[in-house]
């Protein structure tokens, strides 16, 4: 391994000043076409690569953006991560993906790292754990623009891309009611988070509108796993407090419920109606096919990226408090 070649090296070899080399490499019109070609040729031959640390230190040109998600390996987020990564690539940005593991503390440290590395901007969906938003204030203070998607800090003035959780959950609940279900339960996450709170409210609103007696919001702050789904449903059965329909905020939990219903011989949709949030690769295979609320990952990714890009290129280019709401879709299948 030989030491990496720098602009100064090129300058020395070519007996010109390194500032000229710098300009030549960036196609500055101030440099003679002839020398530009010589420099470019030399750079190419010797595999010159810009040192972005130096560029960023200088303060000019920063194409690094950071993405923070609670979990990389949950389908909703991994889809968005994948899409955003591609968008970033196309637009010439470098994207770093960070995972908070649903922990406020980790999220906070990630923010510190982002500041230290001078990222140009951040796209973030907050952890379930995050109730305090000081770290985003810090980000503001350092002048790093950021955009929230899905899970947001509502007390922070920054653009947000949201899903119509209230409306869609309202619709889903109403759909179940119209189908004749009377004891509808709603399983969701910590209602401190906008996403779960809005779904919760949408559910309640529909129940109340139709004056049903049975209201059963089941809020869990644990990690959404299939096992947790099994447990929640088992507890429901044991408690004799059995609903005749469920709206579930997590595909993982839904899998657990499905497992238990099979084990117990509970028929879907006859004995139990079911609507879940989120898609699953195998949705076409699983029987009965589960009705689901599908979120527009592509649209969310694109909107978030656009907003951030605008913010990076000009901090005043848009209303800092811009909120976009994208529509998710209720896909009725065989489970209700």
Partner DNA sequence: ATTATTTTTGCACACGTTTGTATTTTGGAA
Partner DNA sequence: TTCCAAAATACAAACGTGTGCAAAAATAAT
CA distance 143 to 315: 9
**Count, residues near a second copy per rule CB under 8 A:** 58
Per-residue burial over 299-331, b = 16 or more CB atoms within 10 Å of its CB, e = otherwise? bbbbbbbbbbbbbbeeeeeeeeebebebebebe
Q: Is 138 in the site for a second copy (CB under 8 A)?
A: yes
Stretch that binds DNA, among 2-10, 230-238, 269-277, 278-286 (CB under 7 A): 2-10
**Binding flag, residue 73, a second copy (CB under 8 A):** yes
Does 294 engage in binding with a second copy (CB under 8 A)?
A: no
Residue nearer to a second copy on the CB measure, 13 or 134? 134
Among a second copy, DNA, none, what does residue 6 contact (CB within 5–8 Å per kind)? DNA
For residue 19, give both structure tokens. Answer: 């500032």
Cβ nearer to a second copy, comparing 31 with 268 = 268
| Nearer of residues 96 and 118 to DNA, judged by Cβ | 118
Output the smallest distance, CB 165 to a second copy, in A: 23
Q: Which of residues 38-57 bind a second copy (CB under 8 A)?
A: 47, 49-54, 56-57
* Residue 7 interacts with which of a second copy, DNA, none, CB < 5 to 8 Å by class: DNA
Q: Which of residues 15-34 bind a second copy (CB under 8 A)?
A: none
* Site for a second copy contains 98 (CB under 8 A): yes
Residue closer to DNA by CB (options 51, 86) is: 51
105 touches a second copy (CB under 8 A): no
Pairing of strands 323-326, 273-277: unpaired
18 binds, among a second copy, DNA, none (CB under 5 to 8 A by kind): DNA
Residues that bind DNA (CB under 7 A): 3-4, 6-8, 15-20, 22-23, 25-26, 29-35, 48, 50-51, 54-55, 57-61
Residues that bind a second copy (CB under 8 A): 1-2, 4, 47, 49-54, 56-57, 64, 71-73, 75, 78-79, 81-82, 85-86, 89, 94-99, 101, 106, 109, 112-113, 115-118, 138, 140-143, 226, 251-252, 255, 258-259, 262, 280-282, 284-287
């Amino acid at each position: 391994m030989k030491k990496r070649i720098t602009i100064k090296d090129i300058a020395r070899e070519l007996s010109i000043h390194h500032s000229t080399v710098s300009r030549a490499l960036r196609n500055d019109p101030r440099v003679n076409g002839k020398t530009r070609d010589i420099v470019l040729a030399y750079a190419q031959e010797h595999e010159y690569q810009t040192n972005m640390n130096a560029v960023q230190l200088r303060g000019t040109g920063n194409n690094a953006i950071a993405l923070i998600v609670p979990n990389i390996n949950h389908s909703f987020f991994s889809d968005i991560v994948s899409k955003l990564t591609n968008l970033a690539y196309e637009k010439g940005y470098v994207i770093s993906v960070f995972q908070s593991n649903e922990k406020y503390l980790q999220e906070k440290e990630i923010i510190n790292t982002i500041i230290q590395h001078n990222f140009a901007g951040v796209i973030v969906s907050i952890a379930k754990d995050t109730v305090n938003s000081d770290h985003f204030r810090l980000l503001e203070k350092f002048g790093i623009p950021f955009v929230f998607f899905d899970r947001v800090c509502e007390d922070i003035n920054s653009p947000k891309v949201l899903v119509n959780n209230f409306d869609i959950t309202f619709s889903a609940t109403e759909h179940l009611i119209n189908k004749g279900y009377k004891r509808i339960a709603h399983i969701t996450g910590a209602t401190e988070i906008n996403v779960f709170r809005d779904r919760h409210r949408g559910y309640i609103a529909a129940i109340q509108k139709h004056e049903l007696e049975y209201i059963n919001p089941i809020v869990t702050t644990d990690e959404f796993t299939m096992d947790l789904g099994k447990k929640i449903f088992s507890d429901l059965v044991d408690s004799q407090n059995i609903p005749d329909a469920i709206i579930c905020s997590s595909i993982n939990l839904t899998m657990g419920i499905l497992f238990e219903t099979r084990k117990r011989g509970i028929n879907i949709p006859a004995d139990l109606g079911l609507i879940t949030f989120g898609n699953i690769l195998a949705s076409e295979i699983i029987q009965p096919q589960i009705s689901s609320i599908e979120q527009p990952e592509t649209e969310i990714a694109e909107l978030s990226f656009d907003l951030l890009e605008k913010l990076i290129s000009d901090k005043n280019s848009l209303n800092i408090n811009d909120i976009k709401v994208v529509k998710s879709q209720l896909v009725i299948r065989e489970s209700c």
